Structure formats: structure tokens, C-alpha cells
């Protein structure tokens, strides 16, 4: 296989530091490895004490683990960020317009831009949502757009994450930790703040409250303390000053949603839910669900409560729909996409499948409904045996898979046992859509800590970095 070339975000071809990284490079010169190791250990102690943990499914030991935190910041210049945020803004508006359309007149299908089957027969399409319009016509309120960089001005959107994207608490805690660990370095830069994210989230949720509700009661709906992202659910509720509830704390009466309090029940107007569609309401969806609230969907359709994100938004980040997002953007905005899509082969199509099978050792294959890096194949780094096994799975159920070229993810300087070295990264900025679009400058940079690895998922040994967006 031909050697992949990677874009190094810190160093240019001649080995000099690029503009945004210049001060960092100079600062690093004065640091010895022992000092950095000490800081790295300090960071771990901070995270453990705060209880910033996540659960790894499929392991029987410790259910709570830390996501490794890398002490080297990832730095993005103001002009790079302007372009990224314009692209994200365009994308989330188009996706919300798409959601409204497919649950109403389905113009995009009539226009022949997307095959009807792909929508109607999609598991993520909820017929229960047809004809219903949520407040402000917004479906996907909280979005985490996964972006990778492959060149100076080349960014690709990998996934749109319009369901319940997680990780925003890491964005905030990473920043707090960096400010504590490296005040001197931090002062050298003009870093755009991220700490107001909870305020923006609250404003966004308020702006989509049911009509006529001036001062809505907002709550965060969590599956409970054993969920992998529980820390984040509690963190967001806490920083917004909202109530953190489980399904059993809510009930529906008279078409309205109520919290069981110590005394008089209190009406709930906006629910930021962190549980999947299927578990929301056992009366409408999965009947055996213990996590949801019976009758919630009826209260929602009656307009008495807003659910964020709306049920049925999953269709917008379905991996089979993904290939059509550029068309979706053009169709609803009349503009060319600012951010590229990664070329995608849909294994349900015979020609595409043939191409993927012929080039299996070069491509990345993902499950259509998978997430978290589980059940995927990275051709170039897989053994012959892994390739053969995956080939069987793919042939048995091609509809379940899509494939993409292996992207040469950019690298960032990262603290490792052998000093500071380049490691591959991606970026998940967090976007809020309500009465307007609110994008927090920065996001979560995920980093593949293993040398040469291209998988950044925390469940697969990835870590996170603080992401600095510079101000002009």
C-alpha cells in the first residue's frame, strides 16, 4: 500500500512552526520531559477527583474510566474558524429544513433528489412525526459535527451527529484544566472562550419552549447514573441550573408533563433528552422501555412540551443519508456546500459494493447505524485475517454497511511517553439551533493516542485535547 501523507497542523514542510503554533513551539523549547510528565499526571488527578468519567461497554471491570486527556492544545486560527463555522451554520440549517420537509410535503423526494425508499424504509424515520411541526421548526437543536482535516484548507465532515451528541462537558472541563495547568502559555494567546456554552444551551432551549410559555421549566432527561455519559448529563443540568431527571421522575397527566416533586407536581416545558428515540415513551415506541415516560409523545404532539432533539432527527445523520447531504444543502439553501463530504460508497448498491470488496484493504467500512467506533474496519491497518472476516460479514449483509476512503487525518503535537510527537486528530464543534444558530468557538478535539492509529474514539483508546480557537 502506498504511504499516506499526513497534514501536520503544527509543522510546515520545512519543519518550521505554522503561525498559530509559533508561540507554543517556542514555549515547548523551554520545557523538559519531566516537567510535562508531571503536568500530565496533575491533569489526571484533577479529572479523577472531579469524577469526569465515562463507562466502557463490554468490559466487566471498572465501569468508570477516565478519558485520557492530552496536555498539548490544538490550535485553530481565526480565519480557519470563520470558514468552518460558516460551513457548519449552512449545514445545520439545511439539515433542519430537510427534517421539516420529509415529515411534511417531502419536496426533496418529489424533486427526485433522494430516493423515497431511503427515507420511508429507514429505521430512523419516525412516521409518528409526520405532519407535526415543532416550535421554531427546529428538529435538531444540539448537534456535534465531526470534522477532519487533511490539508491546509481541506476539511471534511465525517458525521453530523444530530441525535444526542456527547462530549461537550469535556470541551468545558478540558479548558478549565488547561487554564489551571498552563496559565503562562494560555496568556500568550488570545483564545476565544467556551465557558458560556451552558448559557447558550439554556437560551436555545428557552427559545423553543411551547408557545406562550414565558419562563419555561427545563430539565435534562438522563437514563441514570450507570449511563456512560451520566457525568455530562449532570454537568449540563448543573451549569444550566436545570433539573436533572430520570424517566421515573416524570409523568403525563391531562396532556402535560409533570415532575414528581416533594410536594406539588411541577409542569415541565422543555426536555433536553439524553435517551434514544426508542426509549422515550413506552406507549408509542419500545413498550418494554423503563427509561422513558408513558404518554410523553402525545404530550409532545399536543404542543405542551418540547423535546430536544426532536424524535425522528436521527434520519438526518443516518449514514446512508449522509451521501446526500451535499444535495440536501443545495436543495434547501440554493448554495454550494462550504464543507466537503467524504466520498461514500453505499454497499447496498451493487456497483459500490463491488468496488468496496475489491479495495477492502484501502477503505474504511462502517455500519450504517453504528457509532463509537464499534464494528468498523480500517482497511490499511487491518490484518489479512481481519480483512477476510470482515469480507464475510459485508457479503452477508451489504445493506448494513457504507465505505469511505481512508482519510489521512491531520496530526497535532501530543504528549507521549517518548516526548511530544504528532498524533492523528479530529474535531467536534458543538452547534445549537433555536431561534438562531449558536456555535461555540472550539469543540472537542479527539486524538488517537497510539502512534499511527487513525481511530480517535474514546472507546477505542482515544483521548481528548483542549481546542483553542484564536481571536484576531
Please state the closest distance from residue 365 (CB atom) to other proteins, in A: 38
The smaller minimum CB distance to other proteins, of residues 107 and 243, is found at 243
Please state the closest distance from residue 54 (CB atom) to other proteins, in A: 13
Give the orientation angle of helix 78-102 with respect to helix 325-333, to 10 degrees: 80
The smaller minimum CB distance to other proteins, of residues 244 and 433, is found at 244
d(CA 371, CA 463): 17
The smaller minimum CB distance to other proteins, of residues 69 and 230, is found at 230
Please state the closest distance from residue 267 (CB atom) to other proteins, in A: 14
Please state the closest distance from residue 66 (CB atom) to other proteins, in A: 11
Written as nine digits, the cell of 242 is 436545570
Q: Of the candidates 159, 162, 125, which has an alpha carbon nearest to the alpha carbon of residue 404?
A: 159
DSSP H helices in 10-60 = 22-29, 33-50
Q: Of the candidates 232, 216, 218, which has an alpha carbon nearest to the alpha carbon of residue 167?
A: 232
Q: How far is CA 306 from the centre of its chain?
A: 21
Please state the closest distance from residue 260 (CB atom) to other proteins, in A: 5
Radius of gyration of the chain (CA): 22
Furthest C-alpha separation in the chain: 69
Please state the closest distance from residue 70 (CB atom) to other proteins, in A: 22
Please state the closest distance from residue 198 (CB atom) to other proteins, in A: 12
Give the orientation angle of helix 197-207 with respect to helix 230-240, to 10 degrees: 80
The smaller minimum CB distance to other proteins, of residues 52 and 126, is found at 52
DSSP H helices in 292-349 = 296-301, 319-322, 325-333
Report whether 153 contacts 402 (CB < 8 A).
no
User: What's the order of all strands across the beta sheet hosting 142-144?
Assistant: 142-144, 430-433, 437-439
The smaller minimum CB distance to other proteins, of residues 250 and 363, is found at 250
What is the torsional sign of CA 290, 295, 300, 301? positive
Please state the closest distance from residue 264 (CB atom) to other proteins, in A: 9
The smaller minimum CB distance to other proteins, of residues 266 and 397, is found at 266
Q: Which residues bind other proteins (CB under 8 A)?
A: 48-51, 224-225, 230, 234-235, 237-238, 242-246, 248-249, 259-263
The smaller minimum CB distance to other proteins, of residues 80 and 232, is found at 232
Written as nine digits, the cell of 282 is 413506552
Strands 377-378 and 401-405: unpaired
Q: Which element (helix H / strand E) includes 183?
A: helix 183-188
Q: Which element (helix H / strand E) includes 420?
A: strand 419-428
Please state the closest distance from residue 295 (CB atom) to other proteins, in A: 18
The smaller minimum CB distance to other proteins, of residues 42 and 249, is found at 249
The smaller minimum CB distance to other proteins, of residues 246 and 352, is found at 246
Amino acid at each position: 500500500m502506498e504511504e499516506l501523507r499526513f497534514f501536520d497542523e503544527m509543522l510546515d514542510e520545512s519543519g518550521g512552526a505554522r503561525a498559530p503554533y509559533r508561540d507554543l513551539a517556542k514555549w515547548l523549547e523551554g520545557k523538559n520531559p519531566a516537567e510535562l510528565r508531571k503536568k500530565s499526571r496533575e491533569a489526571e488527578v484533577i479529572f479523577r477527583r472531579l469524577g469526569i468519567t465515562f463507562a466502557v461497554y463490554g468490559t466487566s471491570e471498572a465501569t468508570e474510566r477516565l478519558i485520557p486527556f492530552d496536555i498539548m492544545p490544538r490550535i485553530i486560527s481565526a480565519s480557519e474558524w470563520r470558514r468552518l463555522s460558516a460551513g457548519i451554520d449552512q449545514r445545520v440549517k439545511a439539515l433542519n429544513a430537510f427534517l421539516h420537509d420529509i415529515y411534511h410535503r417531502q419536496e426533496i423526494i418529489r424533486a427526485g433528489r433522494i430516493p423515497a425508499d431511503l427515507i420511508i424504509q429507514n429505521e430512523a424515520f419516525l412516521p409518528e412525526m409526520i405532519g407535526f411541526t415543532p416550535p421554531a421548526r427546529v428538529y435538531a437543536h444540539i448537534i456535534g459535527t465531526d470534522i477532519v482535516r487533511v490539508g491546509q484548507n481541506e476539511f471534511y465532515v465525517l458525521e453530523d451527529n444530530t441525535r444526542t451528541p456527547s462530549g461537550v462537558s469535556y470541551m468545558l472541563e478540558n479548558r478549565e484544566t488547561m487554564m489551571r495547568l498552563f496559565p503562562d502559555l494560555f496568556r500568550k494567546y488570545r483564545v476565544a472562550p467556551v465557558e458560556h456554552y451552558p448559557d447558550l444551551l439554556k437560551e436555545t432551549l428557552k427559545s423553543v419552549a411551547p408557545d406562550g410559555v414565558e419562563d419555561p421549566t427545563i430539565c435534562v432527561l438522563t437514563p441514570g447514573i450507570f449511563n456512560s455519559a451520566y457525568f455530562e448529563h449532570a454537568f449540563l443540568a448543573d451549569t444550566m441550573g436545570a433539573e436533572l431527571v430520570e424517566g421515573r421522575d416524570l409523568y403525563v397527566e391531562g396532556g402535560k408533563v409533570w415532575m414528581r416533586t416533594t410536594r406539588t407536581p411541577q409542569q415541565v416545558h422543555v426536555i433536553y433528552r439524553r435517551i434514544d428515540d426508542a426509549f422515550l415513551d413506552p406507549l408509542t415506541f419500545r413498550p418494554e422501555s423503563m427509561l422513558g415516560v408513558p404518554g410523553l409523545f402525545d404530550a409532545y404532539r399536543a404542543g405542551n412540551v418540547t423535546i430536544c432533539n426532536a424524535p425522528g432527527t436521527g434520519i438526518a445523520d443516518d449514514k446512508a443519508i449522509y451521501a446526500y447531504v451535499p444535495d440536501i444543502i443545495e436543495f434547501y439553501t440554493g448554495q454550494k456546500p462550504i464543507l466537503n463530504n467524504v466520498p461514500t460508497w453505499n454497499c447496498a448498491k451493487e456497483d459500490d459494493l463491488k468496488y468496496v470488496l475489491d479495495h477492502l484493504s484501502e477503505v474504511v467500512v462502517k455500519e450504517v447505524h453504528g457509532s463509537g467506533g464499534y464494528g468498523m474496519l480500517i482497511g490499511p491497518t487491518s490484518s489479512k485475517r481481519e480483512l477476510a472476516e470482515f469480507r464475510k460479514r459485508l457479503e452477508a449483509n451489504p445493506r448494513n454497511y457504507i465505505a469511505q476512503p481512508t482519510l489521512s487525518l491531520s496530526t497535532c503535537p501530543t504528549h507521549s511517553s517518548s516526548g511530544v510527537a504528532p498524533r492523528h486528530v479530529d474535531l467536534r464543534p458543538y452547534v445549537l439551533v433555536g431561534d438562531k444558530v449558536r456555535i461555540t468557538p472550539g469543540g472537542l478535539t479527539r486524538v488517537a493516542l497510539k502512534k499511527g492509529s487513525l481511530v480517535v474514539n474514546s472507546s477505542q483508546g482515544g483521548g481528548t485535547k483542549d481546542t483553542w480557537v484564536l481571536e484576531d
